[in-house]
C-alpha cells in the first residue's frame, strides 16, 4: 500500500517558514507586495485568486487585485502590466489564466517583467529554466519537485513519465526532472499505446484533466504517482486523473486529490513572491 504524499502538510510547513522570512524583511522596512490581474468572470479563476489572497494574508504579504471586464482590450491589459512593472512597491505580478479569447496571453506574459514574473511564464524565465539557470519556476512543477525532495523519492537514473504537455505543467516539469537526473518521457493526446510507456515508469505524473484515467494495470509495482488533475464529477466531488483506490495498492508513493499538488502550487507561488522581494532588495 502506498505512502500518501501529504501536500497539504508540506505546504503548511513551507508557509510557516515563509512567514518568518516576511517578518525578517519587515524588520528591515521591506514589505512584500503582490498584484493579481483577473480579466472576466471565470468562476474557477475567482476561487483561485481568493485562495492566493488568503495565503498572502496568512504569510504577511500585501495583496492587490485588479479586476478587468471581459471586453477589456489588449492595449488596456498591457498598459496595466506596464504600470505594475514600473511600480517599485510591487514585487510580484500574476495574470490569472485563462483570458477571454480576444486577448493574447503569450503577449501578456512577455510583457510582465521577468524579475516580477512569480508564475514563471515569461519567456526569459522559461529559457533560463531550460538552461538550468536560476529563475522563477512555474508553481505547480516547482511544488511537485519539492514533494519529491521531501519524501526522498529517487530520481537519478529513474524513468519519469509525464502525461500532459501544457506550458503550465508538462513542459516546465521536463526541465525540472532533467535537473534531478531523471530520464523523462512525455505523453499526450496523440501518444499511441500509452500504457506500455507508463508500465515501465518509476515515476508517473498525470496532468491531463481526465478523471481516473490512470488505472492500476497501467503502472508497475512500487511506482511513485503524482496526480495534478482536478476534475469535478457530476455528484460535485473532486477527483484526480488517477484511479486512486486501485493505483494506491501498487504504488510506493501517491498524492491524493484534493490535498496533494494543489496546496503546494500556492505555497510555491508565495515562495516565489518572497524570493522576488529579496532579489529586488539586495
Angle at 252 between CA 249 and CA 256, to 5 degrees: 70
> Which amino acids are annotated catalytic?
52, 96, 119
- The number of helix segments (H) and strand segments (E) in the chain equals 10, 11
Prior bond of 114 cis (ω within 30°)? no
- Per DSSP (E only), the strands in 15-125 are 33-39, 62-68, 92-95
SS3 31: coil
DSSP 214: B
Which residues touch 3 (CB under 8 Å, ≥6 apart)? Answer: 151, 252, 253, 254
Amino acid at each position: 500500500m502506498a505512502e500518501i504524499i501529504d501536500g497539504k502538510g508540506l505546504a503548511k510547513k513551507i508557509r510557516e517558514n515563509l512567514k518568518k522570512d516576511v517578518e525578517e524583511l519587515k524588520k528591515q522596512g521591506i514589505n512584500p507586495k503582490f498584484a493579481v490581474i483577473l480579466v472576466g468572470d471565470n468562476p474557477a479563476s475567482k476561487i483561485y485568486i481568493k485562495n492566493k489572497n488568503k495565503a498572502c494574508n496568512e504569510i504577511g504579504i500585501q495583496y492587490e487585485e485588479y479586476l478587468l471586464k471581459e471586453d477589456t482590450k489588449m492595449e488596456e491589459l498591457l498598459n496595466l502590466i506596464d504600470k505594475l512593472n514600473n511600480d517599485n512597491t510591487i514585487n510580484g505580478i500574476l495574470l490569472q489564466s485563462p483570458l477571454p479569447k480576444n486577448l493574447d496571453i503569450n503577449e501578456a506574459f512577455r510583457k510582465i517583467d521577468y524579475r516580477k514574473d512569480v508564475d514563471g511564464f515569461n519567456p526569459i524565465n522559461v529559457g533560463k529554466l531550460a538552461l538550468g539557470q536560476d529563475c522563477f519556476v512555474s508553481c505547480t512543477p516547482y511544488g511537485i519537485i519539492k514533494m519529491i525532495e521531501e519524501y526522498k523519492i529517487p530520481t537519478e537514473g529513474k524513468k519519469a513519465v509525464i502525461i500532459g504537455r501544457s506550458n503550465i505543467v508538462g513542459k516546465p516539469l521536463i526541465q525540472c526532472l532533467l535537473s534531478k537526473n531523471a530520464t523523462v518521457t512525455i505523453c499526450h493526446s496523440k501518444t499511441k499505446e500509452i500504457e506500455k510507456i507508463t508500465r515501465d515508469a518509476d515515476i508517473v505524473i498525470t496532468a491531463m484533466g481526465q478523471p481516473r484515467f490512470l488505472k492500476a494495470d497501467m503502472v508497475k509495482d512500487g511506482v511513485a504517482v503524482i496526480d495534478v488533475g482536478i476534475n469535478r464529477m457530476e455528484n460535485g466531488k473532486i477527483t484526480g486523473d488517477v484511479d486512486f483506490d486501485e493505483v494506491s495498492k501498487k504504488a510506493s508513493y501517491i498524492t491524493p486529490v484534493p490535498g496533494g499538488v494543489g496546496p503546494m502550487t500556492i505555497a510555491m507561488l508565495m515562495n516565489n513572491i518572497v524570493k522576488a522581494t529579496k532579489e529586488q532588495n539586495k
